[in-house]
Amino acid sequence: MDINECLEKNYLIKIKPATDLIEKEFNEARYDLEKAEKAFENEDYKWGIIKSYYCIFHSARAVLFKLGYREKRHFAIGIILEDLNKKGKLEIKYINYFNAAISSREDADYHYVYSRETAEYNLEIAREFLEKMLGLVRK
């Protein structure tokens, strides 16, 4: 699936770039990262995984708002990230991070599968992802 298909199926909606929403999303991402760090310290690995994912989600969503899109499905964010990769603006590892975070969040939330190792990995990628998305928006 590509951006045009997502637009046709209303998984993505074209909007005016929304500066006010960009900062709101980054604030949410920072909040979620802080909660993920606290959860990890408290050995609440399930919650750490979930909050790390939402840090990544909100960081990526800020980029969508910068580009003039709003997603209706979480996977549509991945489509935008893939497009940025094709245009040479984003390394493939960030798409992999996004997909890994979705998968581990679903495992933790719906299948009760989580571990210290997964929580630690997600926390690391969330920190890196947030910094990368901040950089993309500020270019």
Q: What is the CATH number of the domain that holds 67?
A: 1.20.120.330
Q: What is the pLDDT of residue 89?
A: 96
Give the mean model confidence (pLDDT) for residues 24-37. 98
- Which residues have CB under 8 Å from 84's CB, separation 6+? 63, 90, 136
- Distance separating alpha carbons of residues 11 and 130, to the nearest angstrom: 23
**Which range marks the domain in which residue 8 is found?**
3-138
Confidence of residue 19 (pLDDT cuts 50, 70, 90): confident
Is it the case that residue 56 has pLDDT exceeding 80?
Answer: yes
**End-to-end CA distance of the chain, in Å?**
27
Averaged pLDDT for residues 40-69: 97
Res 126: pLDDT: 98
Confidence (pLDDT) at 46: 98
**139 pLDDT above the threshold of 80:** no
pLDDT at 8: 96
The pLDDT assigned to 27 comes to 97
- Residues ≥6 apart with Cβ < 8 Å to 126: 32, 33, 36, 52, 53, 55, 56, 101
Band of residue 18 on the pLDDT scale cut at 50, 70, 90? confident
CA dihedral sign, ordered 35, 39, 40, 45: negative
CB half-sphere exposure, 80, CA atoms < 13 A = 27
Contact assessment for residue 101 and residue 114, using Cβ atoms and an 8 Å cutoff:
no
| Angle, CA 53 vertex, CA 50 and CA 58 arms, to 5° | 125
Q: How many domains does the chain have?
A: 1
The mean per-residue pLDDT over the stretch 26-49 comes to: 98
